Homo-oligomer: A and B are copies of this chain.
């Protein structure tokens, strides 16, 4: 792949952040703190908003002209934190201007749009990466290790709850707003042999907001496991918990418990079955219970966005796909579209296949 012409090996990567709404300032802060990058622009259609986000003491340039960013040869990469509906056009323009691209989740407003971006980045040899921030938390990194190393055994179930009094969005429902977090973590940690094969979604709009504010997703995995996600904008209680049940151990990730974010339970149900049992015999098999220790591993204290930013730098430098590259973004988009389709069909199971084929 081509490295953006002006980029030498030691030079910091020139970066511009596009969009200074809710998430943009977090990107600004992290790119500013990273020695791998030189932050050149914060661009927003509302220039005064960009200026406010930078504060009164910043040397970073604020602009409302995206063209200025694209024309700046010192800009090697852009980070896009604009509304999802604009991702396709903004990212496409950036890629075509030779810039590497980082996009806020979701990658685009539709699978088709996302596919355009993936193909264009491939064609141009540029890095396309999704900011699936949670994948870069020390907690998720550890969970991925636990699943990948086989320490949990076979994957039995994943149950994720992400509820909070949330900003009811104008353009997207609660699934498109919140579930990308859960689904991208799932995509990131799923061990070999566990591919999402079908998805069902139920939703409700009890406040009459015009889109689902409470929703439940069920995902069937090829390995026989089940994944369930509860997202909810209306809960005054904040919960961010994921249970990952394995045949040997179970992990609980409680993102709101800073002293014990990850706990590994050596407790569970064991089934001792001979290989020759028929179905009737299996029903009588012995089920036993393990009551073992709980271990909460020490985790590094490191801001996820900092690690994400360095992964972006590394992908640009090496040309290797980022851990959360455009294809992972596509896999999330396929699940989100399936959810929308299932919602419209009273929860009917919708098969998943397209994105996996691109892996």
Contact = CB atoms under 8 A, between A and B. Distances in A.
A112 interface: no
A247 B236 CA distance: 12
A117 to B, nearest CB: 27
Given A226-B206, A293-B297, A232 B159 contact: yes
Interface stretch (A57-65, A78-86, A181-189, A324-332): A57-65
Interface string A23-56: 0000000001100000100000000000000011
Contact of A216 (B155, B216, B250): B216
B233 A204 contact: no
Nearest to A346: B349
A149 interface: no
Contacts of A260: 294
A225 interface: yes
A203 B247 CA distance: 17
Interface stretch (A89-97, A266-274, A302-310): A266-274
Interface residues of A, number: 77
A246 B118 CA distance: 43
A234 B271 contact: no
Q: Which of A155, A234, A273, A283 has most B Cβ within 10 Å?
A: A234
Nearest to A219: B202
B225 A206 contact: yes
A279 B279 CA distance: 53
Most buried by B among A163, A165, A170, A225: A165
Contact of A234 (B59, B268, B279): B268
A214 interface: yes
A296 interface: yes
Contacts of A285: 209
A165 B289 contact: yes
A189 B237 CA distance: 21
A234 B159 contact: no
A4 interface: no
A238 B209 contact: no
B298 A207 contact: no
A237 B258 CA distance: 11
A243 interface: yes
B267 A165 contact: yes
A228 interface: yes
Contact of A296 (B208, B230, B233, B294): B294
Contact of A202 (B226, B250, B271, B273): B226
Given A32-B56, A218-B202, A235-B250, A282 B165 contact: no
Contact of A33 (B55, B235, B291): B55
Contacts of A237: 243, 250, 252, 259, 265
A154 interface: yes
A74 interface: no
A319 interface: no
The 8 closest A-B pairs by CB, nearest first: A156-B206, A204-B226, A236-B265, A236-B267, A294-B296, A210-B283, A168-B287, A202-B218
Given A39-B57, A200-B346, A209-B282, 7 more contacts: A157-B204, A159-B214, A207-B247, A218-B347, A236-B268, A291-B298, A295-B295
